[in-house]
Amino acid sequence: MQPSLWLALAGAGVLISFTPGAGAINTMNNSLNSGFRRSIWGILGQQAALIVHIAVVALGVGVLVAGSPVVFNIIRFAGAAYLVFLGIRLILHKPDPTRDLAAPRAREPAWSMFRRGLWVNLLNPKALVFFLAFMPQFIRPQQPLLPQYLVLTVTVVLIDVLVMWFFFAVAAKSFQRFTNTARGQLILNRTFGLLYVAVAVLLALVH
């Protein structure tokens, strides 16, 4: 891939990653609940989903999914339902009055965080459609395809990890002071829960 083309890809990747969505909400929530360092497990799950999306598009299956309203809607509503489930669970979560500001509120297993991050991004067909429109701009059919897809995948994933971890996860730290009181925890839980639901509504209604 030519340096100029790669720079364009990197710029587009940065803009994509900074666009608020379910992944950003999930990352901030993980950072608040389990700490900055452990939030990386959720981020890695989200990246695994991105790799799946890229692979699906590269194999041509994405065209079939995007071209089939039935399949697209099944994935879309399944994704929306999952986000609603996460939102309601967070809204109903009872605050911990003994919460110590210096320690994470919970030690959620790494696999649980990874799995949730995976499903949050995987059940988003709009990401698939986006990559269908995005990827061809940076792939040259007359050149070997595998190296190009590898460069694209590594670039997009690395940028997203950096943005999620060092922007959204760090940004969540500014809300950390609210987690040492039951009222603060309740407000944060309801706020992030409603954000999950809001993204679910957008996913389900916006075509």
How buried is residue 149: exposed, middle or buried, by Cβ count under 10 Å (0-12/13-18/19+)?
A: middle
Question: How far from 156 is each of 93, 116, 200, CA to CA, in Å?
Answer: 34, 20, 24
CA angle 55, 59, 63 (to 5 degrees): 100
pTM over 0.85: no
Domain count within the chain = 1
Structure confidence at residue 22 (pLDDT): 85
Rounded Cα distance between 198 and 91, Å, is 13
Question: How far from 178 is each of 36, 55, 173, 181, CA to CA, in Å?
Answer: 16, 41, 10, 6
Q: Reply yes or no on whether the pLDDT at 91 is more than 90.
A: no
| Contacts for 18 with CB less than 8 Å, ≥ 6 apart | 163, 167
* pLDDT single digits (tens) 107-162: 789 999 999 999 988 887 777 777 877 777 788 877 888 888 899 999 999 999 99
Q: Which two tokens stand for residue 137?
A: 């701009």
Question: How far from 126 is each of 14, 25, 205, CA to CA, in Å?
Answer: 18, 17, 12
Across 75-158, the runs of DSSP E, i.e. the strands, are: none
pLDDT bin (cut points 50, 70, 90) of residue 207 is low
Q: Which domain holds residue 41?
A: 3-205
